[in-house]
Chain A
Amino acid sequence: MGGEGIARLCGDGVTASLLEPLAREAVAILWQPADGSALELLGKGAGVDGAPLAVVLAGVDEERLTAALKPPVVACMEAVGQTIHRAPHMFRPGTLSLSLSTAAAYRLEPARLFCEALDERIGLQPEVLQKAELALHEAMVNAIIHGNLEIGALPKETLDDFMHFCQKVENRLGRPGFGDRSVHMWAVWTDKAVDIVIEDEGPGYDAASVPVISDDDDPNRKSGRGLWLIRDLAEWAEAENEGRRMTMRFPR
């Protein structure tokens, strides 16, 4: 948001007081009635028609998130209790962003919904859409597991290993300071390409220290394929912000 007051702000299932810090920066404050009827203007008003729309959504589930990501929304942020998982950048046309708690991102697997919302705005080739969805999904899993939940690479050679790993994930998701961290994803596009970015709030890692498996590596490997898939699927992919952010580029 950056304090420039460029967004219309819409609350869905949240209290007006929770919106207050964001509302100070918004040009208009809108309200989504529970029956899904037209947005009501609660306050301010200048630039209501032209400014991009940001939604703060409580009680997120697949159906409500799908609805919240419909155009002309440019940003959707989950509210949990008194916390808004707030996008870390400006809201502007030509972008789409989604910020969720780690727990919701793990439960909802939102890469499909996000990529479908992106496709609705800019129209992607079917094959590019499939590649973007899988790359974003894999990057999101890494951001959740290795980023926000701070779980390192564990052996996953057997299903018992995998069950143990999943139990550890569930335990961390329920712990304060882990499951309540934010996962942010956003897309920025030009006529030629779309960059999809995912960012976590974990301690980061040294991207150069992660071994890069090549396509002639062991096809029987049962884990550790995610980063290789991302690099294989995207036209270009790079870890930034000390490993907390992954940017992936796809052609339009």
Chain B
Amino acid sequence: MQYETSENAGVIEVKLHGRVTYSDHPSFRSVISMIKESAATKLVFDVADVEFIDSAGLGMLLMVRDTAAQKNAQVVLKGPKGQVQRIFASSKFDSLFTIQL
């Protein structure tokens, strides 16, 4: 997985690319550190360019959500497609995140 982050007007945007799997925990650690240090009230994870996510990747997004919740920040998952959209639906992520198609 590759990712880029930007922060503007209280919104952190994290754009993910490629495959999100168990091997990406160091990247999520960096992103979670950034969230902890920020005063942002909204996090947008742009997953439009993610081609594959596994159950560990889902778990790491849930950990991001927990971190955001501690700071009363909202998490948006933006642009899921294909396999990512399907696994979000079957895992009922729409009950936990705002999903923006």
Within 8 A of B (CB), among A110-124: 112
B98 at the interface (CB under 8 A from A): no
Q: Which residues of A contact B56 (CB under 8 A)?
A: 141, 162, 223
Contact A162 B25 (CB under 8 A): yes
Q: Does A225 contact B55, Cβ atoms closer than 8 Å?
A: yes
Segment among B2-10, B40-48, B80-88 that sits at the interface with chain A: B80-88
B55-A138 in contact (CB<8A) = yes
Given contacts A134-B87, A141-B22, contact A219 B59 (CB under 8 A): no
How far apart are the CA atoms of A251 and B18 in the complex, in Å? 27
Complex: how many Å from CA A215 to CA B72? 28
**B29 with A159: CB separation less than 8 A:** yes
Docked complex: B28-53 residues within 8 A CB-CB of A: 28-29, 32, 52
The interface bits of chain B over 41-83 (1 if a CB of A lies within 8 angstroms of the residue's CB, else 0) are: 0000000000010111011101100100000000000000011
Query: Given that A138-B55, A219-B96, A223-B55 are contacting pairs, would A159 and B25 also be in contact in the complex, using a CB cutoff of 8 Å?
Result: yes
Q: A159-B25, A159-B63 are in contact. Are A232 and B55 (CB under 8 A)?
A: no
CB-based contact A220/B52 at 8 Å: no
Q: State A166–B54 Cα separation when bound (angstroms).
A: 16
A109 B55 Cβ-Cβ under 8 A: no
- Chain A residue with minimal CB distance to B59? A222
- How far is B87's CA from A232's CA once the two chains are assembled, in angstroms? 10
Please name the residue on chain A nearest to B82 by beta carbon: A130
Instruction: Kindly state whether residue A163 has any CB partner on chain B within 8 Å.
Output: yes
Do residues B22 and A159 form an inter-chain contact, with CB atoms below 8 A? Answer: no
Minimum C-beta distance from B68 to chain A (A):
13
Q: Does A1 contact B (CB under 8 A)?
A: no
Q: Which of B21, B32, B95 contacts A159 (CB 8 A)?
A: B32
Please tell me the number of chain A residues within 8 Å of chain B, measured between CB atoms. Answer: 25
Most buried by A among B55, B56, B92, B95: B55
Q: A134-B83, A138-B54, A159-B29 are in contact. Are A232 and B90 (CB under 8 A)?
A: yes
Q: How far is the CA of A163 from the CA of B22 in the complex (A)?
A: 10
A137 to B22, CA, bound (A): 11
Residues of A within 8 A of B93 (CB): 219
A100 to chain B: closest CB distance in Å?
16
CA A220 – CA B101 in complex, angstroms?
A: 21
- Bound-state CA distance A229–B88 (Å) is 12
Partner of B63, one of A133, A222, A225, A229: A222
Q: A130-B82, A166-B25, A229-B55 are in contact. List 10 more A-B contacts (CB 8 A).
A: A133-B52, A159-B29, A159-B60, A219-B91, A219-B93, A219-B95, A221-B62, A222-B59, A225-B55, A229-B90
9 tightest Cβ-Cβ pairs between the two chains A and B: A222-B59, A219-B92, A225-B55, A130-B83, A222-B62, A226-B55, A159-B63, A162-B25, A223-B59
- Some 12 contacts from A to B, beta carbons below 8 A apart, are A109-B19, A109-B23, A134-B87, A158-B66, A159-B32, A159-B63, A162-B59, A166-B25, A222-B63, A223-B55, A225-B55, A229-B87
